[in-house]
Structure 1
Amino acid sequence: MGVLDGLKPERVFYYFEELTKIPRCSHHEEKVSNYLKSVGEKLGLETIQDDHLNIIIRKPATKGYENSVGVVLQGHMDMVCEKESDSPHDFSKDPIELIVDGDWIKANKTTLGADDGLGVAMGLALMELDTLEHPEMELLVTVSEEVDMDGAINLSDKVLKGRRYINLDSEEEGILTMGSAGGETIEVELPLNYENSDEYIEYTVKVAGLVGGHSGIEIHKPKGNSNKVLNQVLDEISKISDLRIIEIHGGTKDNAIPRETEAKIGIKKSDVEEVEKSLDRIKSTVLELNKGIEGNITIAVTRLEEANKVLTKENTVAIINLIKDIPTGVFTMIPDNIKIVESSDNLARIDTKDDKFIMIISMRSSSQKSMDDLRNKIVPVIEKNGANYKIVNQYPKWEYKPKSELRNTAVEVFKKMYGKDMVTTVIHAGLECGVINEKYPEMDIISIGSDLEKVHTPEERASISSAQRVYEYLCELIQELK
């Protein structure tokens, strides 16, 4: 028996649990793509697996809908693979360990993958449902949405037949999304030089206890950034000591706000006594700077042995200044709606590797001008500190369209079913809808989804009752698309 057996809709949760058994981190989707292909073929439906492992499953229209405009249902098969530091889970081979807690499904110390496994499961359930009246339906499931949207970007602009498009990658019931931000990533590299020295004592500095979150949807919340917090500790120590960085590592995913960061540093032997006397004060100073941050921040400084090698003073100062001076978080709000973020960046990952310091900055904006302004604020900091950079993983914004028959129908069906208005909005997260809109300009696009919380973190959870309601709503909406 499965952990989710007995939950309704049964076939939605059956398929979702099957997906959680298959490792599917971004850029490692071959197994899950093959599984989706096998499902379509077993259902006797036309099934396409393209060269990039995207899947399209096609179901003919039912009687009376033969002349209706086709509908495309879309989700992505990859997931953000995050886990607690003490979890033994291996995302390359282990199934997600599911837990049912009241109305919520969660995982044991890992991300759940309901983003977007639950949307894909709804699509599969609809593909096999024989009692639903509908136009021709296509289920499109893409790869690599969570990192670079490579699947959507490489999708053929001729493969989809339908011209009404329902993205199933939103995360709040009763919210209809009709626009999203575009984005790009700045990859920073600083060449490193080490010095052999017996004048330094090695310490580890670790910051943990932050809650992290989705760097688009939750960037405006007081999540804090562990890379910034740890750097504040290093900055304070450097005021009283000849501190040298040995290595530093923080953050794991471009689209997740970092929760934990750790560094190894060298303290000059002549400064050790002064630094150790000052640690409580330094910790208090940094905690005070971050007192409004969610979670329970911990700062641990541990003395090790004599250091064998340390970075040069020039490298150490450059790294501290880069982390300190590059902004992270909200940059601008939408002028006509100050409740919605217009542009932001996430100082997502820092790492010393192969004699290089690497920094990944994930940027989002629904305004090209604000994107350019933010980039122009970041690049001079990079150049001032002697680092190199390149712009990668660019994806387009999904611009709001004033006219949408699909949106109008979706709102009407929601009002009829629940007696209240559906909220329509644009979001700061990036959705593949922008890429699809460029390939198929005539496509009428909306995005919906059920209640998910704390996505891109090991505390991710999905509401059972919300999934049931959204699936029922989706069935009703499709029947109305005659």
Structure 2
Amino acid sequence: MRKLVGVKPERVFYHFEEISKIPRESYHEKAISDYLVEFGKKLNLETYQDKYYNVVLRRKATPGYENAPGIVIQGHMDMVCEKESDSNHDFRKDPIDLIVDGNRLRANKTTLGGDNGIAIAMGMAILEDESIKCGTIELLATTSEEIDLNGALSLEPNVLKGKMLINIDSEDEGVITVGSAGGVEIDILLPIEKETLTDVNLYTLSLEKLQGGHSGVEINQKRGNSNKILAEVLHNLKTLTDYSLVEVFGGSKDNAIPRSGKVVLASSKDIKDIISKVADEVKAKYVSFEPEMSFTLEATTAREVSVLSKKTLDSYIKTIEEIPTGVNTWMKEYPEIVESSDNLAIVKTLDENINIIVSLRSSDPEVLNELKDKIASILKENNASFEFSAGYPEWKFRAESKLREKALEVYKKLYNKDMKVEVIHAGLECGAISQNYPDIDFISVGPNLRDVHTPSEYLEIDSTERVYNYVVELINSLS
């Protein structure tokens, strides 16, 4: 039974519901990619699919509009797969369980995938709408945007024909984005030493229900970081009692502010009350801006357990305390816009190392390099090995843009108010695509989408309709 019947724009939400049935976790986009190719073939469109599962669907120019500029509608098909701790959803096989909640479209205890499924759905609706009279129009659907932008970075030259590209991956109606940050990831291995303890008490302390959020969009907001908070608990606990660390985990996505985590501790003494006391004291520091955060503590016993050495515990706490997270610098030209930041995103205990993932962003390559050097220095002091990813490029502001000027004009005409022009701190694929397509004129727009990369994600339905109508009007005005 369809859940979005009658929700407008109907064809957009029809396609959104259909693609929500197809698992599309990053690096697992073959099924959704093949679905888009079949959609294109049914419409007799030119179809292109590369080895990265990027898809281009091309509709020929409307007769009489052959000289109109070619336009590309662009979005990514993968989604961040986050869920509540009590959800049994399997992102590899289960459809997203959509819920219409008044003017909000959300999912049942999982991320919605509005980021960026709504772009794909809009593009599909535009391609099938023969009332839109225009030049050549293409839908470019890319892969692995949420991990490394590899789909956009790997798109071959000369695949796209259009010279103007409308990216629909922004999250605020009435805002036109004309530049974005570049970024890189640090993969860290902190070596561990182990020892064996016998006849000990084991304590699992879990931290849950932090707000989390997009590490580009919400990094400037007051949000708790589960990895930092748990390290604070470990530090404070050391001043009160003796214990050993068995393992530590926190966060799951490099582009999401970590909202949960856990530590497993061992002690020959009964320290349950001490752990609870420290957790309560730490919680009191954050509860004013993290009202839902919660600690749960479970206790058991073990005859024998492998623990991390005291030296490793000290090294881990020191490393996590010293690695910055959050805003690093603000743009001089736009003091309200983040210039550079980092997100201490993931911690996981492996057999011989503690693996730490940190993602860095900056709209200025020089500032990004300075931040890289700063963190590298911290890691060297703590004897950690590390490797930087290839990263993704910034999208530089274009002083002259016919597409931007026309987009502003159309919005003003359609809604009688001005669009806000901005350069954002989050990464967008426009910079990656421009590496092989430097002559394309880019903008990014989108409907109101909130709490992305978290199970609280929702899409505003009426905003989606207004933005879709705006994009259609923009396409018509360019033809």
Structure 2 residue aligned with 1:413: 410
Structure 2 residue aligned with 1:302: 298
Instruction: Determine the C-alpha separation between the residues in 2 that align with 1:457 and 1:44.
Output: 37
Match of 1:343 among 340, 345, 352: 340
Q: What are the ranges of 5 or more consecutive residues in structure 1 without an aligned counterpart?
A: none
Instruction: Determine the C-alpha separation between the residues in 1 that align with 2:92 and 2:152.
Output: 23
Residue 197 of structure 1 and its aligned partner are, at CA, apart by 1.5
Structure 2 residue aligned with 1:394: 391
Instruction: Tell me, yes or no, if the aligned pair for 2:408 and 2:418 is still in contact at 8 Å.
Output: yes
Structure 2 residue aligned with 1:229: 229
Structure 1 residue aligned with 2:168: 168
Match of 2:279 among 250, 259, 283: 283
Q: Write the mapping of 1:102-141 to structure 2, written as runs, cut at 5 A.
A: 102-141=102-141
Residue 284 of structure 1 and its aligned partner are, at CA, apart by 3.7
Instruction: Determine the C-alpha separation between the residues in 2 that align with 1:451 and 1:331.
Output: 27
Structure 1 residues 194 and 132, CA, compared in 2 at 3 Å: closer, same or farther?
A: same
Instruction: Tell me, yes or no, if the aligned pair for 2:48 and 2:55 is still in contact at 8 Å.
Output: yes
Structure 2 residue aligned with 1:243: 243
Instruction: Tell me, yes or no, if the aligned pair for 1:165 and 1:445 is still in contact at 8 Å.
Output: yes
Q: 1:7-30 CA deviation, whole Å, 9 max, x = no partner?
A: 111110010001100000000000
Structure 2 residue aligned with 1:440: 437
Task: Please give the TM-score of this superposition, normalised by the length of structure 2.
Answer: 0.97
Structure 1 residue aligned with 2:69: 69
Structure 1 residues 40 and 62, CA, compared in 2 at 3 Å: closer, same or farther?
A: same
Instruction: Tell me, yes or no, if the aligned pair for 1:222 and 1:292 is still in contact at 8 Å.
Output: no
Q: Which moved more, 1:154-163 or 1:285-294?
A: 285-294
Residue 63 of structure 1 and its aligned partner are, at CA, apart by 2.9
Structure 2 residue aligned with 1:321: 318
The one-letter code sitting in structure 2 at the alignment partner of 1:427 is I
Task: Please give the TM-score of this superposition, normalised by the length of structure 1.
Answer: 0.97
Instruction: Tell me, yes or no, if the aligned pair for 1:230 and 1:262 is still in contact at 8 Å.
Output: yes
Residue 254 of structure 1 and its aligned partner are, at CA, apart by 0.5
Residue 345 of structure 1 and its aligned partner are, at CA, apart by 0.5
The one-letter code sitting in structure 2 at the alignment partner of 1:436 is I
Instruction: Determine the C-alpha separation between the residues in 2 that align with 1:96 and 1:355.
Output: 37
Residue 304 of structure 1 and its aligned partner are, at CA, apart by 1.6
Residue 177 of structure 1 and its aligned partner are, at CA, apart by 0.2
SS of the counterpart of 1:320? helix
The one-letter code sitting in structure 2 at the alignment partner of 1:26 is S
The one-letter code sitting in structure 1 at the alignment partner of 2:102 is G
Residue 299 of structure 1 and its aligned partner are, at CA, apart by 2.0
Q: Which moved more, 1:307-316 or 1:3-12?
A: 307-316
Q: Which moved more, 1:231-240 or 1:11-20?
A: 231-240
- Is 1:361 paired with 2:358? yes
Q: 1:115-169 CA deviation, whole Å, 9 max, x = no partner?
A: 0001110000001001111111011000000001110111001111111011011
Instruction: Determine the C-alpha separation between the residues in 2 that align with 1:253 and 1:230.
Output: 17
Instruction: Determine the C-alpha separation between the residues in 2 that align with 1:254 and 1:24.
Output: 17
The one-letter code sitting in structure 2 at the alignment partner of 1:159 is V
Structure 2 residue aligned with 1:265: 265
Q: Which moved more, 1:275-284 or 1:23-32?
A: 275-284
Residue 294 of structure 1 and its aligned partner are, at CA, apart by 2.9
Structure 1 residue aligned with 2:26: 26
Structure 2 residue aligned with 1:372: 369
The one-letter code sitting in structure 1 at the alignment partner of 2:84 is E
Residue 341 of structure 1 and its aligned partner are, at CA, apart by 0.5
SS of the counterpart of 1:433? helix
Structure 2 residue aligned with 1:101: 101
The one-letter code sitting in structure 2 at the alignment partner of 1:178 is V
Structure 2 residue aligned with 1:453: 450
Instruction: Determine the C-alpha separation between the residues in 1 that align with 2:285 and 2:179.
Output: 35
Instruction: Determine the C-alpha separation between the residues in 2 that align with 1:452 and 1:144.
Output: 20
Instruction: Tell me, yes or no, if the aligned pair for 1:333 and 1:340 is still in contact at 8 Å.
Output: yes
Structure 1 residues 313 and 280, CA, compared in 2 at 3 Å: closer, same or farther?
A: closer
Q: Which moved more, 1:309-318 or 1:82-91?
A: 309-318
Instruction: Determine the C-alpha separation between the residues in 2 that align with 1:378 and 1:312.
Output: 24
Instruction: Tell me, yes or no, if the aligned pair for 2:176 and 2:419 is still in contact at 8 Å.
Output: yes
Residue 277 of structure 1 and its aligned partner are, at CA, apart by 4.6
Structure 1 residue aligned with 2:40: 40
Residue 446 of structure 1 and its aligned partner are, at CA, apart by 0.2
Structure 1 residue aligned with 2:207: 207
Structure 1 residue aligned with 2:426: 429
Instruction: Determine the C-alpha separation between the residues in 1 that align with 2:216 and 2:200.
Output: 41
User: How many residues are treated as equivalent by the alignment?
Assistant: 478
- Is 1:472 paired with 2:434? no
Instruction: Determine the C-alpha separation between the residues in 2 that align with 1:35 and 1:210.
Output: 36
Structure 2 residue aligned with 1:15: 15
Instruction: Tell me, yes or no, if the aligned pair for 2:272 and 2:299 is still in contact at 8 Å.
Output: no
SS of the counterpart of 1:94? coil
SS of the counterpart of 1:39? helix
Q: 1:210-242 CA deviation, whole Å, 9 max, x = no partner?
A: 011001001011111011111111111111233
Instruction: Tell me, yes or no, if the aligned pair for 2:153 and 2:435 is still in contact at 8 Å.
Output: no
The one-letter code sitting in structure 2 at the alignment partner of 1:293 is F
The one-letter code sitting in structure 2 at the alignment partner of 1:465 is D
List structure 1 segments (4+ residues) > 3 angstroms apart after TM superposition: 275-281
Instruction: Tell me, yes or no, if the aligned pair for 2:200 and 2:301 is still in contact at 8 Å.
Output: no
Instruction: Determine the C-alpha separation between the residues in 1 that align with 2:287 and 2:341.
Output: 22
Instruction: Determine the C-alpha separation between the residues in 2 that align with 1:94 and 1:130.
Output: 33
SS of the counterpart of 2:292? strand
The one-letter code sitting in structure 2 at the alignment partner of 1:298 is S
SS of the counterpart of 1:296? coil
Instruction: Tell me, yes or no, if the aligned pair for 1:178 and 1:446 is still in contact at 8 Å.
Output: yes
Q: 1:297-328 CA deviation, whole Å, 9 max, x = no partner?
A: 21223322135121111111111111111111
Instruction: Tell me, yes or no, if the aligned pair for 1:111 and 1:460 is still in contact at 8 Å.
Output: yes
Residue 276 of structure 1 and its aligned partner are, at CA, apart by 4.0
Q: Write the mapping of 1:54-93 to structure 2, written as runs, cut at 5 A.
A: 54-93=54-93
Match of 2:289 among 290, 293, 306: 293
Q: Report the RMSD for the aligned CA atoms in angstroms.
A: 1.3
Match of 1:331 among 328, 332, 344: 328
Q: 1:384-426 CA deviation, whole Å, 9 max, x = no partner?
A: 1111000014000001011100000000000000111011101
Instruction: Determine the C-alpha separation between the residues in 1 that align with 2:279 and 2:142.
Output: 45
Instruction: Determine the C-alpha separation between the residues in 2 that align with 1:64 and 1:420.
Output: 32
Residue 285 of structure 1 and its aligned partner are, at CA, apart by 2.8
